[in-house]
Chain A
Amino acid sequence: MNRLSGVAQRWVVLVVAVGVWELVTRAARSGDTSISFFFPPPSEIAGAAGRLWFSSAFGDHIVPGVSRMLGGWALAGVIGVALGVLLGRSRGAMAYLGAVFNFLRSIPPPLLVPFFVASVGATSMQLPTIVFGAIWPVLLNTVDGARSVDATKVDTARVFRLSRSQWLVGVVLPSALPKVFAGLRLSLSISLILMVISELVGSANGIGNQLVLAQRDYEPADMWAWIVLLGVLGYLFNTLLLAFERRALAWQPRHSLEAQAIATGG
């Protein structure tokens, strides 16, 4: 019963908002304005979604789009964590690279799309765009986490004469893990954004590609269906990552985990 009311509490605002939206847009239909054309009732959007998401577009566009996003994110994650652990524990590296990294991170990633279109080509620039944009939060958070290993743990590791790999994988990485996850969550939402943006330009398939086509065909219900899909995907992946994070950080006392989720906007 408690669980049920919790679910109800979480979704009630959304359900009411969609209901109101339905009523307002249906009422506006009689007014016959362009507004009613661009804001179709949710029921029509749902119809378009049912038609588009589960058609051949699933294999032709949704799967390629999601693969790009997850592939780019995973690649950024692996490179970012590995590089971050090494750089974070190296004595002088960040003194030299810190400014460069902060400069590169400050470039709004979508602005790199024209560059990648020109250099890599419009059909294959999606992955590098996502990797380049998504790597910074993971990398910089991992560096931060790896640096924060306290002096007592450093001494403990030295006293027990840990090997370098034992030290990096067994001590530094777990110490950095809470920050790594904060970075991974940021990177995940950046990956979703860059997936769509990079597909809007020149891509032969993908969710962004379909969004542009629907716009050109003046199919507002279709456009909305793709937009809703992006929201659903973002929500779904974030929830999955959060569940995974809870398991991986189960060793942390509960309160500190929650405090961290709040602090990082998770």
Chain B
Amino acid sequence: MNMLEVDGVGHTYQGKDGAYTAIDGLSFTVGMGELVCVVGPSGCGKSTLLRSIAGLLRPSRGTVSLHGNRVDGVPSDLSVVFQDYSRSLFPWLSVTRNVEFPLRRLSRSERSTRAGEALDAVGLGGAGKKYPWQLSGGMQQRVAIARALAYRPALLLMDEPFASVDAQTRFELEDLLLRVRREQDTTVLLVTHDIDESVYLGDRVLVLSKSPACVVADLDVPLGSSRDQITTRASEQFVELRARVAGMLQGGPVTVR
């Protein structure tokens, strides 16, 4: 069953110096429980696509459906992890309160149970009383991931979630994401400009063209469910896939399967 259906989505911004089409004719689906990476050159309209799916932006053309319901405004069972964790978290709330914040509709005890579970899942069980600024960047992004997970979304959108942390932390967070989605069976759509990351994380990789973006290729990533930063990245399949994606992003010969 498809969790997400994107059908012919395009968006044109009306600016002072004329119209600018960021994305055009984008169509793809994401199945339940899948982790799909969207990779594209910077400035190709990835964020516009993500905002359209999240219901933060009404696209000029096409439709987005989340488990069969047309997206018109932000769906109640969708969550987003933004790139800029320091701005996305609320600095005046402790880590626990940040995670609990979107759960206002639940009872107090249920809120704290869920927040505790989510923080344990991202390895921050002991940091609940701290304030975000007392944590490193990578840990802050873990808080943002915990907040999104505690919300129990049907679809988790991630907008370049690991682009603002150092390489070592990025590897840790990538493995954390793989582990957590395996444990919780979350459907994830992750937008990135990092080719290696898209291949390492994704069950599928959607390659976008330059702006106005459309889907150039939809690649399966047959690397299995248990991946490892060292052996997976060194495997022949990984190297071959990343070369194909890189070739497509550089506008080389396109081979669509």
Contacts and interface: CB of A to CB of B under 8 A. Distances in A.
Contacts of A153: 87-88, 90
B200 interface: no
Contacts of A163: 104
A174 interface: yes
A51 interface: no
Given A160-B102, A160-B151, A251 B92 contact: yes
B131 interface: yes
Interface residues of B, number: 22
Given A150-B87, A166-B104, A170-B101, A158 B74 contact: yes
B56 A155 contact: yes
Contacts of A158: 56, 74
Interface stretch (B78-86, B190-198, B211-219): B78-86
B contact face: mostly helix, strand, loop, or mixed: loop
A226 B52 CA distance: 66
Interface string A187-224: 00000000000000000000000000000000000000
A253 to B, nearest CB: 5
Interface centre among A155, A158, A166, A174 (most CB of B within 10 A): A155
Interface in B149-178: 151
Contacts of A56: none
B133 A253 contact: yes
Contact of B78 (A159, A162, A171): A159
Given A159-B80, A160-B101, A253-B133, A152 B91 contact: no
A252 interface: yes
B54 interface: yes
A156 B82 contact: yes
Interface in B90-116: 90-93, 101-102, 104
Contacts of A155: 51, 56, 80, 82, 88
Contact of B87 (A152, A160, A162): A152
Interface of A: 150, 152-153, 155-156, 158-163, 166, 170-171, 174, 177, 251-253
7 contacts: A153-B87, A159-B54, A159-B56, A159-B78, A170-B90, A174-B92, A253-B133
